[in-house]
Chains A and B, each alone.
Chain A
């Protein structure tokens, strides 16, 4: 049953429908093994954003506090989209890469295991 309600057939209003974000979609982004930045972040982005912009514009603002950041070799970074392995085409847009509204991206930079190697 989708909800236990007094009135049969009750439907909830979808508060975070794509249409409510004024042309943006939401994307969540997280850098694995660097938990000193304590949580995955939420980003409102146009679906036409090139994937590369996540690396060149978004990531430096979000993650550059970490001493590992400048050591990232982006050509070896691996990605997950909604918990499944994923190979982005950097020159295509989020939409063209199949990244939907409220999708979660996690990237791992091989060899970088955070502060004191403790995924921190």
Chain B
């Protein structure tokens, strides 16, 4: 009798056994009752078994690699805390990008966790369900590690104290909240195209690669470590999004029209959110990696162009509004920054004017048209500051019904005119910042008439009162600490104190 050691399974065999091998066909209940969300979106699937995760990642390997990532990450976080890493960043202003990140992006990770948990239950294919469950856990991990790393900065800096509470209330955070609320309240396929494909594949590179590289450049060891640790999961998410869209398109030719509508919608919604990222990259990182326009060129036009060329065989085209995004590329960060600068009294982070050197960097990056349009504004704001009259806009902005961003975007072909769009539905008028947002509304008006627009909520008396003091209290924005210009802020005083201490040796 000979004894042979059990043969080591190949990756493909192991994947088959640990996904499809764990699935069964229900007999007590019909499939339509077990997966009640599978059909209402109109997507037609001929063969549910057609989906395979190209990474062939099984739960046991998943735990192994994720545990290793966590061990590496927490070793860095420990060391960062022990060694007062917060004092080694390039400048105290830098922390304001973390304030935006923690209040806007981190709760979005948590929302993505919830959305993928829904997908991990509702899709009638076991490979997709397992990949969605892993992604759900990833997103939860991202939220937790981001909260954990920012908690160290919260010991020293203002504006990081109430991220979760603020996410549901503050005017600019409703932009991100409404994006994920919209995605999570759609069906499983739309969610997959919205977050898995349009956001993860087409847009998150812009968030995590140049921006996190910026964190590295600015000496923020803790953020760069959680950022890239999260991004190492994103590659898997991107691949899931791409495989899922291919699977759906290959199943039935009728699916292409529905998928195209979702791509158009979610490209535009995701792109609108990135306006704040453009501002962070061009105006808030003390040391900069590349202008927004270059990042957009690399990660949207080059990488996205290749992607859509590949999907052309299914009849899928570039998002219909991509040309508008390209036209906005030279002004997106500036239009956004100018808004936050004058809303500094009502924001949970600091803003500031660019220095002469920074203006030169911007002018070099964005050219003469940018200089002609925007330098006069920076010059005038500087004159007002010199007189001690920093401009804070005394009014509240009109918001777009869909993206919920103040209506500061200009006409695609005329940066001197605000882009107004509106439509009347059931007797009420609704306003939009763009054709993209208007089309999204018109496709599903019953969804967007429900929008919780922060400015309108203030005016309905639902936000603590009628004065800016009342509303700041409701938003948990600590007046005189979290808000206004960085110059003169408690953060600046603390940072300058640290810098002065560096020079005092032995005293």
Contacts and interface: CB of A to CB of B under 8 A. Distances in A.
Interface of A: 1-6, 10-17, 20-22, 24, 26, 28, 30, 32-33, 35-44, 61-62, 65, 82-83, 100-104, 106, 114-116, 118-120
B444 A2 contact: yes
B327 interface: no
B398 A42 contact: yes
Contacts of B450: 12-15
B460 interface: yes
Contact of B187 (A4, A14, A38, A101): A4
Interface in B455-507: 455-456, 459-461
Instruction: Name the 9 nearest CB pairs between A and B, nearest first.
Output: A119-B416, A41-B395, A3-B446, A116-B376, A115-B376, A39-B397, A12-B450, A44-B459, A39-B406
Contacts of A17: 428
Contacts of A26: 456, 459
A6 B36 contact: yes
A14 B190 CA distance: 24
Contact of B398 (A39, A65, A101): A39
Which secondary structure dominates chain A's binding surface? Answer: loop
Contacts of B375: 116
A112 B284 CA distance: 33
Given A14-B449, A120-B377, A21 B444 contact: no
A22 B461 contact: yes
16 contacts: A2-B446, A3-B446, A11-B446, A26-B459, A28-B398, A30-B398, A36-B338, A36-B380, A39-B397, A41-B398, A42-B396, A42-B397, A43-B395, A44-B459, A106-B418, A115-B376
B420 interface: yes
Nearest to B414: A119
A36 B392 CA distance: 11
Contacts of A120: 373-374, 376-377, 380
B393 A102 contact: no
B418 A40 contact: yes
A102 B338 contact: no
A32 B417 contact: yes
Contacts of A40: 397-398, 407, 418, 420
B229 interface: no
A11 B445 CA distance: 9
A104 B398 contact: yes
B186 A4 contact: yes
B18 interface: no
Contacts of A3: 444-447
A32 B431 CA distance: 17
A14 B428 contact: yes
B225 to A, nearest CB: 36
B460 A22 contact: yes
Given A24-B459, A30-B418, A115-B376, A38 B335 contact: yes
A94 to B, nearest CB: 14
Interface in B410-448: 410, 416-418, 420, 422, 426, 428-431, 444-448
Given A82-B429, A102-B431, A39 B407 contact: yes
Given A101-B429, A119-B416, A120-B373, A42 B456 contact: yes
B40 interface: yes
Q: Which of A35, A61, A119 has the most CB of B within 10 A?
A: A35
B453 interface: yes
Q: Which of B398, B422, B430 has the most CB of A within 10 A?
A: B398
Given A26-B456, A37-B342, A42-B396, A12 B446 contact: yes
Contacts of B416: 33, 35, 118-119
Contacts of B428: 14, 16-17, 101-102
A65 B410 CA distance: 21
Interface in B370-397: 372-377, 379-381, 384, 391, 393-397
Contact of B420 (A44, A61, A106, A114): A106
B335 to A, nearest CB: 7
A33 B416 CA distance: 6
B66 to A, nearest CB: 33
Contacts of A6: 36-37, 40, 187
Given A40-B418, A82-B429, A118 B372 contact: yes
Interface in B323-340: 335, 338-339
Contacts of A114: 376
